[in-house]
Amino acid sequence: MRKKSLRLTISLRFALIVLAVIALISVVSNVLINRQFEGYVARQQKLEADRIAQNVSSQYDSDAEGWNVDYIHGMGMYASEDGFFMKLYDRDGNVLWDAENHEMRLYNDTIWSINLLQKEVSPGCKGEWETSRYDLEHAGAVVGYLDVKYYQACSCCMNENEFQFLEALNRILAVIAAISLVGAVLMGMLLSNSIVKPISRVVETTQKISGGEYNTRIQENVQTRELNELTSAVNQMAGSLAEQEVLRKRLTSDVAHELRTPVANISSYIEMMIDGALEPSPDRLQSCYDELQRLSGLISDLERLRQVENEDLTLEKTDVDLRKLAQAALRNFESQLREKNLDGRISGDTSVVPADRDRIMQVVTNLLSNAIKYSSEGGFVQVTVKDTKDSGVICVEDNGIGIAEEDLGRIFERFYRTDKSRNRKTGGAGVGLTIVKAIVQAHKGTVTVESEVGRGSKFVVTLPKRTEAM
């Protein structure tokens, strides 16, 4: 099924809301106005009945001690024409004049027109006959009684004026509904434009990114916070994909570069030995062996990286004494320290943390190896172990070449090597610190670095004592 566009959906929802609001307003206003009319009409009818009673009571002839029936007949006729039917009794309750008898035709006509109105307008609803009784008094004494009967229409059987008013109101509401509907659709389109445009840009950009155009970015500055976050998230994603792409390409060229020299050296040696140009002396064979060692070191680096980056890093945790571990690691570098005339020192507390001993050994080994690699002759390599309430800390510090500020944020990335280290042909593939970071993170710990070019570097690894709670 073809999906509805966002623009259409928003416009339709807007129109729907407007329709619902107008419908609600019209229902509520109709009901309220009906009620008002009902009350108003009832009050008017009662006032009219009161006025009739007032007029009738003035027709008592005190001299004759009787009612002026001729006048009353005239009054009764007029009242009947207005829908008020009188019934006059003398003080003993005898009927003196009754509209139902005298104005039979008018009475029936009124009933007929009321019935017609009900049938046509609102078949379901009925008004009711209301009779108001008045005690007619003269000189303080009751001289008779008057019943005034009139039809009290319910709100749904209103007279023509009332209908016209409501009809006009409903017409106005219909016009308002039509105008607001058009307005709502236009507003919906306008509003949706500001949402749809950036979303379309996001879709377009992500499609380009998925097609490999990692340098595409969304330039527009969007005012809505969430949309702004969306566009910057896409830009960030494109940025990190571009970076990954650069790293991937660099990996290929790095690996090729790393392989080329040893392979070329070995081939030329062996070629010459086959040709008889060179004797296969132990020195030459040792050279070939060294180159092969470099190659196998690179392969193990890549293998280790694959392991930690594929997240199949299973930790076999035991209680590890970080100070003892650091001591053992430093001992392994004794000959290299001596070679470079470096002062290897260890200080600090005993700190026991739950950790995978071999992996943490790898961490300290990588840090020490870098500290030695990037130190100038006669420097020092200092390992300090600290114990805190929640964690064990290992610092590996040197006073070597240091790292430039712009490189600090990137040295933990795969295959990232600063130009300086590249020039020095240190031989590392730029994965040592990536492995360090992955192992430390698997232990829910942190690794940070402080460094200054020419003054040295300090790597701080913090390992938590309770990893479960984290």
Check binding of 153 to ligand ADP (CB under 6 A). no
Closest distance to ligand ADP from the beta carbon of 460 (Å): 12
**Residue from 155, 384, 418, 462 that binds ligand ADP (CB under 6 A)?**
418
Burial 41-74 (b: 16+ CB within 10 A, else e): beeebeebbeebbeebbebbeeeeeebeeeebee
379 binds ligand ADP (CB under 6 A): no
Q: How far is the CB of 363 from ligand ADP (least distance, A)?
A: 11
Q: List the structure tokens of 91.
A: 């003080």
Contact 202, 230 (CB under 8 A): yes
Q: Does 447 bind ligand ADP (CB under 6 A)?
A: no
Among 457, 461, 463, 464, binds ligand ADP (CB under 6 A): 457
**Smallest distance from the beta carbon of 427 to ligand ADP, in angstroms?**
7
Q: Which stretch binds ligand ADP (CB under 6 A): 135-143, 263-271, 276-284, 395-403?
A: 395-403
User: Are residues 275 and 269 in contact, defined by beta-carbon separation less than 8 angstroms?
Assistant: no
- Write out the two tokens for 261: 């020299």
Please identify, among the stretches 5-13, 197-205, 258-266, 427-435, the one whose residues bind ligand ADP according to the rule CB under 6 A.
427-435
- Taking the complex as a whole, the smallest distance from the CB of residue 445 to ligand ADP amounts, in Å, to 18
Q: How far apart are the first and last CA of the chain?
A: 47
Residue with smaller CB distance to ligand ADP, 59 or 370: 370
Nearest CA-CA partner of 197 in 171, 231, 155, 241: 231
Tell me if 97 contacts ligand ADP by CB under 6 A.
no
Query: Whole-angstrom Cα distance, residue 198 to residue 233?
Result: 13
Residues in region 337-366 near ligand ADP by CB under 6 A: 366
Instruction: Count the site residues for ligand ADP by CB under 6 A.
Output: 23
Burial of 335 (0-12, 13-18, 19+ CB in 10 A): exposed
β-pairing, 380-387 vs 343-348, is parallel
- Residue closer to ligand ADP by CB (options 402, 445) is 402
Residue 87, H or E segment: strand 84-90
Query: Which is nearest to 394 in space by CA: 451, 453, 334, 436?
Result: 436
Q: Which is nearer to ligand ADP, 204 or 290 (CB)?
A: 290
For position 201 contacting ligand ADP by CB under 6 A, the verdict is no
Among 202, 305, 429, 440, binds ligand ADP (CB under 6 A): 429
Binding footprint of ligand ADP on the chain (CB under 6 A)? 366, 370-371, 374, 398, 400-403, 411, 416-418, 421, 426, 428-434, 457
